[in-house]
Amino acid sequence: MAVEIFTKVTCGFCMRAKMLLDHKQVKYTEIKIDNDAALREQMIQKSKGAFTVPQIFIHDHHVGGCDELYALHAQNRLDALLESEG
């Protein structure tokens, strides 16, 4: 999948990030790490140490969290990243 987002159910930043992706009609895979130590560890490893949610990956490029996703959008760089092949 081109876009993966690691989330927790009660995370407001996760909801905001998904709202932006939904608004842009981007299909993504949501990986809910609530109460799943193995998935949380996978997220930390994949993000090279980030332990907060959301953690967002586009074409295996680590974007970061919600703020970074919105910053890419504000800089008009998000669409190009979504359309790239990695």
All structural domains of the chain with their residue ranges = 3-83
Give 84's pLDDT tier (boundaries 50, 70, 90).
confident
Nearest by Cα to 58 from 47, 50, 49:
47
So what's the pLDDT on residue 1?
A: 59
Phi-psi region of 65 (alpha: psi -120 to 50; beta: other; left: phi over 0): beta
Q: Quick one: pLDDT band at residue 42, thresholds 50, 70, 90?
A: very high
Question: The domain 3-83: what is its CATH number?
Answer: 3.40.30.10
Token pair listed for 80 = 């190009």
The pTM of this model reads: 0.95
pLDDT tens readout for residues 11-21: 999 999 999 99
pLDDT digits (tens, 9 = 90+) for 44-56: 999 999 999 999 9
Cβ count within 10 A of residue 65? 21
Q: What is the DSSP letter of 60?
A: T
